[in-house]
Structures are given as C-alpha cells and as structure tokens.
Amino acid sequence: MSDVRIITGNEAASLGVKLCEPKVVAAYPITPQSALAETLSRYVEGGELKAEYVRVEGEHSALTVCISASTVGARVFTATSSNGLLYMHEQLHWAAGSRLPIVMCCVNRGVGAPWSIFNDQQDSISQRDTGWIQMYCRDNQEIIDSMIQAYRIAEEVYVPVMICYDGFVLSHTMMPVTIPDIESVRKFLPPYKPHTILSPEDPRTINSVLLPVRRANPEGVLCDGYMEMRYKLQAALDQSRDVIRKANELFAHTFGRNHGGMLWEYMTDDADLILTGMGSIAAEATVAADILRAEGVKAGVVGIRVFRPFPKDDVITAFGHAKAIVVFEKGISYGYEGALCSDLKAAFFGTDSKAPIHNYIAGLGGRDVKPRELVEAGKTTLAAVEAGRMNHEIKWLNCYTG
C-alpha cells in the first residue's frame, strides 16, 4: 500500500534526503529553509537518519563542511535560501571545480536589499554560472522525487546539484505526496563511489595551484592545466543532459512518476501560444492554459525543469511549432531581461523558429501571480503578434511602473 501523506515542500525535501541516506548534513537556519534543516535534525536525533549533523556559524561554512566530507567519501546534504546562497558563492565554485557530487536545496526567496522573506528566484538564477546542475520543482511530489534523482545524477557525472523550489509557495504549502519505500530507493540509488583519494599510504595534494599550461608531475605524467579542468567541467555538464533524462526514465519505470527529464509539456501538441517558466509559476500557467483553451485559444505550457545545463535541443523540439511564446520569470538579469528569456532566444537562433518571445517579470518578492493575470499576458502577446507588433520589450506583471 502506498504511503501517501499531506505534507509541506520542506517536509517532502527532508523525507527525500532521509531516503537517500547521506552521512553528513550541514545546517544553518534561514527562512524559508529553516524547517527543512530542523526536520533533518529530528531524524538524526531520533536515529531515523544515521548521519553527522553539523551546526555551523554561517552558510559559507555549511558548504565548506559538505566539500570536506564529500572529498573524503561521504554522501552529503545542505540547504539554504536567498542571501545565504549568495554567501556560499565562493564555495559554489569550489564544489563544482572539485567535481564533488553535493546535493543542496535552494528554497527560493527574494534577495536583499531591500529585505524580503518571500519568494522569487533571483537567488538561484544569479548563481547559474557556478557549474552546478539546477533543477526547478513545480510541486511537493516533484521535490521529493527530484531529490532522489539528484543524488544519482550527481554521483554519475561528479557535478553538484541544486534542487530549487519556491519559498512559502511550496515550502510551507501542504499537498498530498507519495513517499517511496526505502528499499526501492536503495535499488535506484547505488552507493556513492568517491573519485578523490585520501590515504596516508598514498599522499596527494588536492586542488593544487595550476599553471596556464599542462605540466608533467614528478612521475613524468603530463597533467591538465587550469583550462583543461574548466573544459572537463563543461563537458560533464553537457554529458549530464543524457544522464538526467535516463535517471528520470528509470525513476518513472521504478516509481511510476515521470517528471519530464529536462522539461515537461502540457497540451503543446497543437498549441499556437506557449506559456513557459520554471517552478511553481509554470504549474500556475497550466491553469491559465486551461482558461485560454476554454476561450478558443490553443494554448499550452512548457515547464523548464532543468535550467543548467540548459535544455537547448529539448526546447527547440518543444517550442518548434509555436506562433508566440510568453516567458514568465521570477527573476531578472538587471540591465537586460529575464535569464530564461535570453537563453530561449539563444537556443532558437539559427533554427526555423520565428515565434516572437515576450518576457514578463512576475512575482518578485512574493507578489501574488494569479492565473487570470497570466491569461491576460497571453492575450496581450497574441494581439500584438496578430497586429504585426514584434516589440520584445520586457513587461512587469502586476507592478506599478508609472
């Protein structure tokens, strides 16, 4: 019999972590992530999770603990939000450059200043170039399932994974969630095999200073320089696309739930208008698509599940026949437009797709986003396209700009 519980997104994440059996959990509180770390502390204290629970003095230290523990061969976990993630910035680069399969939750929250404890995705979007795989969840079921997939993905390609889900919108909202059984998870997730070697019988320098060119080591073996190491990280992220798709397929076969691999689609087969976004706003767009369909507009949704590595080939296929595309984003690359919008335009460059792409910045700092507002944005875009107006200026949804 299935174990179905009505739980919050943070509880779903904590159960996913427990099922993956990390040996080290590093914790520092920050709203709206704190409940996740608190739940894990109860699991460790109660003996449900046999792990070292390390309380640190800040987020930089939390990721440092994970880097150290992963280097010596432990499966690890941490979580953060907002300015806490920004405080980790240096160590995000270090974890990826060290090729450590760390899994971390980012419970998305607006970045100060000015302060906000409420949701947008500016925190994780601003860290997209640190070398981490980034996965965005649309509901609480996807949070627990993505957590289990994330460890398998990270430990196959040796690249850290960030599981992102919207603060309060998901972290504190209760939904029915099916909890996988531990034995099935153990079959799905092989034991972690570290690629680093730490042994007194075989002493080594880890992450030594590299020069611009390749050089021979004391044994005469020609070793990579800095640029080769950067190339290999990029190659691993490129390779991870197939690993992510296969992990999703195996998960669907094992547990009966398919979250779409790199992206997911909703009523796109004949869609003229495609709405898109990441996380909960993409889920909200499915309601808007239903409303538009009822009014005679052929609308569909593409939810971007993996933002890094960017699913270029997948989006070309998914959006290929659209006549207009509307991108809803809970973040902005200041001075230009939303980061997802820019990446979509780059993906379509040189292809047959000529669909205009309109960018709407929405929901910053927890500003409410209703389906009817997404519907109106879609209609505005369609009217502009039909009138021959191809203005790609970004628009701010439900925001006073006077």
Give mean pLDDT, residues 288-299.
98
Identify the CA nearest to 312 among candidates 237, 382, 365, 391.
237
| Block residue for tokens 């500003």 | 367
Q: Which of 70-84, 99-113, 189-203, 228-242 has the lowest mean pLDDT?
A: 189-203
Give 3-22 pLDDT, tens digit per residue: 999 999 999 999 999 999 99
**What integer pLDDT is reported at residue 197 of this predicted model?**
78
Instruction: Say how far apart CA 49 and CA 127 lie, in whole Å.
Output: 30
Q: Where are the domains of the chain?
A: 3-188, 263-396
Give mean pLDDT, residues 370-374.
97
Give mean pLDDT, residues 143-170.
98
CATH architecture classification, 263-396: 3-Layer(aba) Sandwich (3.40)
The type of residue at 83 is N
Q: Indicate if the pLDDT at residue 38 is higher than 90.
A: yes
Q: Indicate if the pLDDT at residue 200 is higher than 90.
A: no
Q: Indicate if the pLDDT at residue 204 is higher than 90.
A: no
**What integer pLDDT is reported at residue 17 of this predicted model?**
98
Q: DSSP string spanning 51-117?
A: SEEEE-SSHHHHHHHHHHHHHTT--EEEEE-HHHHHHTHHHHHHHHHTT---EEEEEE-PPSSSP--
**What integer pLDDT is reported at residue 391 of this predicted model?**
67
Task: State the average pLDDT for the chain.
Answer: 96
Q: Do domains 3-188 and 263-396 have the same CATH topology?
A: yes
**What integer pLDDT is reported at residue 218 of this predicted model?**
84
**What integer pLDDT is reported at residue 1 of this predicted model?**
55
Give mean pLDDT, residues 79-95.
98
- The CATH class for the domain spanning 3-188 reads alpha beta
**How far is the first Cα of the chain from the last one, in angstroms, to the nearest whole number?**
57
Positive or negative, the Cα torsion across 273, 128, 117, 54? positive
Question: Percent of the chain beyond pLDDT 70?
Answer: 99
Helix (H, G, I), strand (E, B) or coil at 277: strand
Q: How many residues are present in the chain? A: 402
